[in-house]
Chains A and B, each alone.
Chain A
Amino acid sequence: MANPVLFVIAHPDLGQSRANRHFAASAKSIEGVDVLDLYKVYPDMFVDGSHERHRIDGKSTIVLQFPIYWYAAPGLLKEWIDRTFSYGWAYGTNGNALKGKNLLLSIATGSEEKAYGPEGVHHHPLDEFLLPYKQTARFCGMNWLDPLVYYHARASEKDHLIAHGEKLKSRLSELVHAASKQEMSHGA
């Protein structure tokens, strides 16, 4: 059986990001998770939509791991969604391919949590910036899961980073587990 979880990491300088690197490694350590390093696979940002759709077929969960750049994901992740979530597949007539799948965002931010608030420099809670992703999930009939957020990534302590990595791992394990349970009940 193919792995049920697709973990997409979108970071243009993974070598420079301790947190994103750690989370990617955490994801890799979980059985049942496929890890896709977008900037590695598409260094020219030329996403092969049909190839990506094949990749998603048969998955029960898509996890998107990314840093927040100007209140959104890095450009290639947007391009990936643009090219992959196509008409007749993700939406529109017969566009049911994503229906029922889970979408989980795993985000690392540069700023502290309090920066995302009415008093903070960003003025809005992070949730509000994630609205396009939430609505994308909804439009495609996906289940929106509560995002995992790691604030103030650069300045954080090592223990804190490891603890968050463990949290991510247990979330991923649960998702893998749930998928295999579902598979079994379908089989029965």
Chain B
Amino acid sequence: MEHSFLLACFIFLSAAVIVVPFAKATGLGSVLGYLLAGIIIGPYGLGFVTDPETILHFSEFGVVMMLFLIGLELQVRELWSMRNKLFGLGLPQVLITALVLAIIGYLASMPWQSAVIMGLGLALSSTAIVLKIIEERGIMATNTGRSAFSVLLLQDIAVIPILAIIPLLALPELAGHAPTDDGHGPAAATEGGWQVAAKTALVFASMYLSGRYLLRPVMRFIAKSGVREIFTALSLLLVVAAALLMEWINVSAALGAFMVGMILADSEYRHELESDIEPFKGLLLGLFFISVGMSVEFSVLLNNPLLIASMVAGLALIKLIILWGLGTIFRFHIADRMLFAIILAQGGEFGFVLFQFATASGALLPEHADLLNVTVAISMVITPILILIYDRLLAPKMVRDTQTEREPDDISVRNRVIVLGYGRFGQIVTRLITAQGFEATLIDHDPEQIDLVKRFDTKVFFGDARRTDLLAAAGAHEAQILIIAIHNPNTVTEIAAMVKKHFPHITILARARDRNHAHELMGVGVTDFVRDTFHSGLQLGIKALVALGYEEHRAYRLAKTFARHDIKMLHEAYEIKDDEEAMIGHARTAKELLAQVMESDLVDLDPANATNWTSDKNPDDIERENKARSQE
């Protein structure tokens, strides 16, 4: 058992490692690569793996995790700002597509109940494939990306009511039909529809309440313990628990994860959770694509090649037309409209889930389910191919008209400012910036500090900012500036170096501790830094001079001159920082220079010079007078 598990791992990983980079390099994209790898090692390829279903079920957990992450990303505010697209694009897409497909199914002499399920199941696109493509093309911030995301999201939400109505659509002749699926599938719906609904409502309500009130203190307690992997364990535990709970009430585990994600979306631990789950999701999702590739039932396909081909073509065509029409109503640019339609024109993994559940509930004949599953799987395989065609053949022909292109301000863009370290220093910087109307993503790793500022209605995320994945989750790819206001100088340098490497587009503004640390920061390429006590020290220096009898403006100018000189010397010293003797010599000259510099600034406007304005004096007298004054 152990042995075969390792062997299976070996086959999967090598297939992925060999095929995916190759597919990516040839421009096919990673999704198609995974699917191909699956077909190659699957029962109809080399036959390495003969039981794809177990793996499909296992890897479906990747989709669950993905939905958890989507839920995490989605705050109510963002959801609200997407309402136009959710209900304008998403809802009509699902309803019209389902209706058209159901009518076709009914005309093809399916029972009306099964036809409705087919329509609803096929109307859903593949969240896994589409989001992966959006991510790979980097179009999440564009109109196309956001519109496609809105449609997917509405579909994901639509799964709840669809799952709820499936038991009501059980075929009379299949009533009492025993589940053919014996392991993992949802148990047959032996309870009445309303009982299921009540149970579902109960579970969601308790999930919401515990997410709101129980999880936060638990997460805070674990975060305080400082054991990082336990937080990862907790993140996984949350997803697994949500999935189990959902299975218990016969609802898609993915949806449960999505709900838990949403509940935690405004939690201060969101970015940490995201970066913990992300690598698991990536791998499992890859495995999921592989198993979709493997589970293309070529026997069903070989028995009905024409039927399947026309079903795939029909599905893609109907979806394309409806999406194209919606894109036209929303006035997308033609190239956007085409990409939007192509991206979403496939069946999705929820289709598998729905058909499986429907079969188990006695609402769909197993032979129909087989046909539909193959259709969905093939339509998923052809999506990357259609996109390839779009990129190579269609897109180049459509010259963009920049005049008419105007992105609607729909979803709020991710924050342009990220602040790491929301302590005494970071707070001042942030308050100045946010007072200008900017929103900043704030990250700190001290749970007590987070609790403290929360009382003042400030939302700070918990996380270890040294982690690349955490910064990515916090939106570092889209951010414009990154303020590192952490007090530990080593951490600041480490993060600055890491960000320079992984997110070179960001402008880094760093808090430096002292001269040495400033030099360290210059060493990793940071040009915008401020020594954290420098300016406050100067301010107190000004007050000291005033207390000693200097005029305010004079004291201020002296401090400014001092600062200018000191910063100049800091940069000069950087050039010789490795030579200790030169440094000592430099420090000595710098001190002498300071005295001169401070004097000269005041001499320029010295009132003594006013005598020169009176023209009745001999220039030589003026000269003498000036000398005398400067010796006073």
Query: A: which residues have CB within 8 A of B?
Result: 44, 46, 48-50, 82-83, 86-87, 91-93
Contact = CB atoms under 8 A, between A and B. Distances in A.
A46 B602 CA distance: 12
Contacts of A48: 564
Contact of B619 (A44, A46, A50, A93): A93
Given A46-B560, A48-B564, A92-B609, A83 B604 contact: yes
Contacts of A86: 603-605
B612 interface: yes
Contacts, number: 30
A91 B604 CA distance: 12
A83 B600 contact: no
Interface residues of B, number: 15
Contacts of B601: 49
Contact of B560 (A44, A50, A92, A93): A44
11 contacts: A44-B560, A46-B560, A50-B600, A82-B604, A82-B605, A86-B603, A86-B604, A92-B612, A93-B619, A93-B622, A93-B623
A108 to B, nearest CB: 28
B557 interface: yes
Interface string B380-396: 00000000000000000
Nearest to A48: B564
B539 to A, nearest CB: 14
Closest 10 CB pairs of A and B: A87-B609, A86-B604, A46-B560, A49-B604, A92-B612, A93-B623, A83-B604, A93-B619, A87-B612, A82-B605
Contacts of B604: 49, 82-83, 86-87
Interface in B591-629: 600-601, 603-606, 609, 612, 619, 622-623, 626
Contacts of A44: 560
A188 B626 CA distance: 41
Nearest to A82: B605
Contacts of A92: 609, 612, 619, 622
A82 B605 CA distance: 7
B605 A46 contact: no
Contacts of A82: 604-605
Contacts of B560: 44, 46
Contact of B605 (A50, A83, A91, A93): A83
Given A44-B560, A93-B619, A93-B622, 7 more contacts: A82-B604, A86-B603, A87-B606, A87-B612, A92-B619, A93-B623, A93-B626
A40 to B, nearest CB: 16
Contacts of B603: 86
